[in-house]
Chain A
Amino acid sequence: MTPDKLKLASHVKAINWNRIEDDKDVEVWNRLVNNFWLPEKVPLSNDVQSWATLTPDEQLLTMRVFTGLTLLDTLQGTVGAVSLIPDAITQHEEAVYTNIAFMESVHAKSYSSIFSTLCSTKEIDEAFRWSIENPNLQKKAQIIESYYYGDDPLKRKIASTLLESFLFYSGFYLPMYWSSRAKLTNTADLIRLIIRDEAVHGYYIGYKYQKGLEGLSDERKEELKAYTFELMFELYENEVQYTHDLYDSVGLAEDVKKFLHYNANKALMNLGYEAMFPAAVTDVNPAILSALSPNADENHDFFSGSGSSYVIGKAVNTEDDDWDF
């Protein structure tokens, strides 16, 4: 599409971080800064041997998945996060978006670090060509992009949150899958850093969307809610196609779809809406879930444990100075 001239924030004044209107801005700024990382810190070259154990099909799939993720990060870094700046309610919110934009560019670059470590220039060029030619990948980028250039600030935030919290996950599945089989584990470590960042981004943009809803008429709120679910369905259908394009060759498409459902629910929650997919279709492969978070397994659910193993702890008296967290 031909974008209209991108709107910029008008009337810039000096930002005063000593006068805060929304504590969330400072909280998220600090979190993002503390989470800052660069791909050079991850020892990707330790994955060279592991890469050689993948079949040619598996290598091709992995490269395609990563060019797809590169496209989304590029879109979010150069257009998405930047397009949110003129709509910001507070100046500190604007600053947070600049941080988000920069980190998306770090993410986009980190896939190139993976490529240059593991693949030949010819293979890399071919994978990038695939990313331009794959209709479903292009479609998802176009759908999101059209909202970034649109004129509704809240719809822009919806599109952005769905990108951050849903659209990446058809891709993120694969490094978690490799990690669960003890392959490409350093690459997986890098992807986990990206996943952590995207979680904060989705949380924050979703929060700002909800702040934007405050004080609107019920009709407008209903319109935006209906719009969110409509967009989710449109993206979901495309995502299913994209998943089949990628994963049919290795027989993982059905497993990936569960991961999509699970993350679609979380994207909706970030926007303040109830989960849409029922538990029957969000039962993510436990190996994938534990590659994502080692604490996420059923063993941590005390309520579902067998009654006989209940051990009720007794709170003990502790001194106040124990509470120096």
Chain B
Amino acid sequence: MSAVAAESAVARGASRYTSSRLIYFSSASDNTHRFMVKLGIETARMPLHTYEETLLAQEPFVLVLPTYGGENRLGAVPKQVIKFLNVAENRQLIRGVIGAGNTNFGDTYCLAGDIVAEKCKVQHLYRFELMGTSDDVDRVREGLEEFWTRLSQERTPL
């Protein structure tokens, strides 16, 4: 980001900056949002509308995003997520993706997660349906903890 852009963001109250390790988009249906609340860890939600300023990640993070019932690749990734990932700094800090969806959408189940994982060359770590079950919550909570531990070990040579 240019210095000017950074300054204007600061002037607006710097609410765009987030140090959360888990950043997500959830539409007005709040399914993904409910899952994130159940995780009980600090998260940051992207703005609901594309006309709002998107978030600026400050720390490595995992992205959680839903796929709705699209028929093909085009339009599978929510526009709000595209706006967020169009910020190069955000792309540099993404470390993994978690997808939400519905198996009823067949081979497009969690497709948006696949697309983002492929584009950013990170793993699509986990998939869950709708607002997730309690088992999903446990697995993601434990899985993420292990994931970040591994990542920090890799970055810190003994």
Contacts and interface: CB of A to CB of B under 8 A. Distances in A.
Interface stretch (B3-11, B16-24, B98-106): B98-106
B125 A303 contact: yes
- Main secondary structure, interface of A, reads helix
Nearest to B48: A23
A250 interface: no
Contacts of B154: 312
B119 interface: yes
Given A34-B71, A289-B103, A325-B75, A300 B93 contact: no
A307 B149 CA distance: 12
A323 B119 CA distance: 8
A295 B107 CA distance: 6
A215 interface: no
B133 A292 contact: no
Contact of B115 (A195, A293, A295, A325): A325
Contacts of B129: 266, 269
B102 A199 contact: yes
B91 A295 contact: no
A325 B77 contact: yes
A295 B86 contact: no
A311 interface: yes
B71 A315 contact: no
Contact of B110 (A265, A272, A295, A310): A295
Q: Which of B76, B102, B109, B144 has most A Cβ within 10 Å?
A: B102
Contacts of B121: 313-316
Contacts of B115: 325
A315 B140 contact: no
Contacts of A207: 28-29
B125 A302 contact: yes
A203 interface: yes
A291 B133 CA distance: 22
A272 B28 CA distance: 12
A24 B27 contact: yes
A318 interface: yes
A216 to B, nearest CB: 17
B82 to A, nearest CB: 6
Contact of B69 (A200, A292, A312, A314): A200
Contacts of A285: none
Interface of B: 27-31, 34, 68-71, 73-77, 82, 85-86, 88, 91-96, 102-107, 109-111, 114-115, 117, 119-127, 129-131, 133-135, 139-140, 142-144, 146-147, 150-151, 154
Interface of A: 22-24, 27, 31, 34-35, 192, 195-196, 198-200, 203, 207, 210, 265-266, 269-270, 272, 274-275, 279, 282, 289, 292-296, 300-304, 307, 310-318, 320, 322-323, 325
